[in-house]
Amino acid sequence: MSAGDQSKIRIVQVELDVKRWLARPPTVDEVRPGQCPVCAAPSRPAGGRLGLHGHGLRGRHQWGPPELGAAAVLLEILARRFACQDCGAIITVVPRGILGRRLYGARAIALALALWGVAELAPAEVRRRVSPLTIVGATAATGWASLRRWSRAVRAGRLFPMVRALPAEASLRQVAARAATTLAAFAPGPGGLPIESAAFLGARM
């Protein structure tokens, strides 16, 4: 696939959580987007032909704890794909919390940023709690590059864009802490949860 094709692939989240999606993957008609997210052609023009055709299922992995307090797993979700008949875009529809081009789900990343940025756990300990992989050997002792990568993505506005920017001199760990507290504020319910739990529940994208 060329770089040009990448621009015509879109991830669209729908308001279904992973648990319900796994219990019964939605049909094509249930999750067909209202319009193409690339060219804005309507998917069901009045009296016209269908603009977005079902384009099969594609397995997508989501790593991390599936629910608050659960052990991390490697989950496979069958995403629904659609093909735009006007511009050729391929649209992948996923449940809430699945991020495009990232192995970990939004909630797992929020949890990791809170444990690293706010609870100030060592990267290796964060990895032990959030990653489904058991790493042994040299890498296990030295940290977890994903924490810095995610924090850089937050800083650049590519991940959790609702997080307000920090001054350029802020450390990546401070960026992680800001992201965690921002996401925690979106947690439903009465509050009073530990920050990492609230960040997990509040991560919506």
**Using CB atoms within 10 A of its CB, is residue 145 exposed (0-12), middle (13-18) or buried (19+)?**
exposed
Binding Zn ion (rule: CB under 5 A), the pick from 31, 36, 113, 163 is 36
* Min CB(153)–Zn ion separation in Å: 27
Which region, judged by CB under 5 A, interacts with Zn ion, from 9-17, 63-71, 84-92, 98-106? 84-92
Q: Which CB sits closer to Zn ion, 40 or 122?
A: 40
Binding Zn ion (rule: CB under 5 A), the pick from 18, 31, 77, 89 is 89
* Min CB(30)–Zn ion separation in Å: 20
DSSP letter at 60 equals E
Give the long-range contacts of residues 139-148, CB within 8 A, separation 24 or more. Answer: 146/104, 146/112, 147/112, 147/113, 147/116, 147/123, 147/172, 147/176, 148/172
Cα–Cα–Cα angle for 72, 179, 203, rounded to 5 degrees: 50
* Min CB(84)–Zn ion separation in Å: 3
| Closest by CA position to 59, among listed 81, 79, 74, 31 | 79
- 156 near Zn ion (CB under 5 A): no
How many angstroms separate the CA atoms of 133 and 192, rounded?
Answer: 31
- 203 near Zn ion (CB under 5 A): no
Which region, judged by CB under 5 A, interacts with Zn ion, from 38-46, 72-80, 153-161, 171-179? 38-46
* Min CB(53)–Zn ion separation in Å: 11
* Min CB(94)–Zn ion separation in Å: 18
Structure tokens that stand for 117 in this block: 């940025």
Spatial contact of 118 and 152, defined as CB atoms under 8 Å apart? no
How many residues at the interface with Zn ion, by CB under 5 A? 8
* Min CB(121)–Zn ion separation in Å: 44
- 179 near Zn ion (CB under 5 A): no
Q: Which CB sits closer to Zn ion, 89 or 147?
A: 89
Structure tokens that stand for 153 in this block: 């993505």
- 38 near Zn ion (CB under 5 A): yes
Q: Tokens 């796994």 map to which residue?
A: 22
* Residues in touch with Zn ion (CB under 5 A): 36, 38-39, 41, 84, 86-87, 89
